[in-house]
Structure 1
Amino acid sequence: MPSSPAYCSPLAYHSFVHELHEIHRPLGLFRAASAIALHSRPEASIDDACEAINKLAGAVRSRVRSRTDQALLAHLHDVMFEVAGFRGNSTDYYNPANSYLPDVLRTRRGIPISLTLVYRTIASLVGLRVEGINAPGHFLASVTIYEGATDHTLFVDPFHGGVLLNEHETIELISGATGRQERATPATLAIASPSDWLLRSLRNLQGVFAHRGQVRDQLAMQELQAAIE
């Protein structure tokens, strides 16, 4: 790992590397992902992004009267998708800002993986068990709902306003994104590790920058990727 990056903003690089030590905590992963934005947004603040996330989690908690998972999930969706208005940016999908969490929190627009990370972080702070699903073509979430001694899992698509999906509907969504008929295999519905989240985000940005001809920015994202691998 180089002590000084050749292409990435030193602020972004060193902040990102510093936050990697805590990515197995939900807020730690969020902080590391937020650090990516510092390459293009040096004025952005990881602490401010965390404060915004904590405020959203607080808004969910303030509404809850029953501590059941069903109640938490309902209020999470109400706050994030109805009150705050988070949605996918389908009109400007390939804008790099859709991957920068400080921007996503400000504009309430993003791509599937950035919106899912916001969703998962808030959910974890209020006590729900949410995982990222590293599906081909369309990143989404799964949430486990506990009812007494039993539990069941639902899939959630934050890009489309938090729609709840069963497994069949999820496979249809993924198939539409990839353009081929997918199957419900462990690979298709794989739970994302913390490194998976960051690597996929960085590869998304590399693709965006390559398409725009921003070679130095593309190489900067590769430097951040190398810090993980």
Structure 2
Amino acid sequence: MTDQPTSVTIPTDDGDMPVHLWLPPSGTGPGLVVLQEIFGVSRYVRSRSADLAALGYVVIAPEIYWRLDDAGFDESGEDFLERAMGLVARLDRPRAVADAVAALGALRGRAEVTGGAGVLGFCFGGGLAFEVAARADPDVLVAYYGSALPQLLDLAPAVRAPSLHHFGTEDAYIPMATVERIREAVAGPGVELRLHEGAGHAFDNPHPMFHHARASAEAWAQTTDFLARRMPV
């Protein structure tokens, strides 16, 4: 296994979508589609994808912004958050969902995938992963502070996959009253929801604006435990 991904493509009706692929040390295993934050397939998303591959998963991270012109940006720039908000506002969400569903289908079809195939998303990608779960029945769903979840709760009955949701108790975008509404909507025997005390939105992202070290470590341990139980290597 290498931390550096292989570049592949997935065909869509509008052309080939760029995708990053990481293989585990064994070369085969269950699959995971990692869905980006609003910052794209950033260094952070690539790092987490490599972490998952090291655990034994075949991982792909599709470039969901691939249809947008001028979608790249400097994560160290002062306007990086404003620029990312602008990108996601320009995104055609139904097409983005279709692209993510296509990514899951393509992953399932890869020879290296010898077990199940699931979705894991951060922030924007957490909501996207929830929509994929409602439409394409992955084997697992992991959503870190899915920002669109409050608007997607009518899809909850269609999500049958074992699911893990992470939220920070100090998330300004998803306040606790909203988290409780999400908890009620998604509740079921296969659903786990973890609260991380004192953490804000995007707490797993290492950028100083967002990072909460304890919550990040705690959530990652819970994620790896969940995957080991629900979609073992």
* TM-score normalised over the length of structure 1: 0.36
Larger Rg: 1
The structure in which a higher percent of residues are strand is 2
Structure with the higher fraction of residues in helix conformation:
1
TM-score normalized with structure 2 length: 0.35
Structure number with greater CO (CA < 8 Å, separation at least 6) is 1
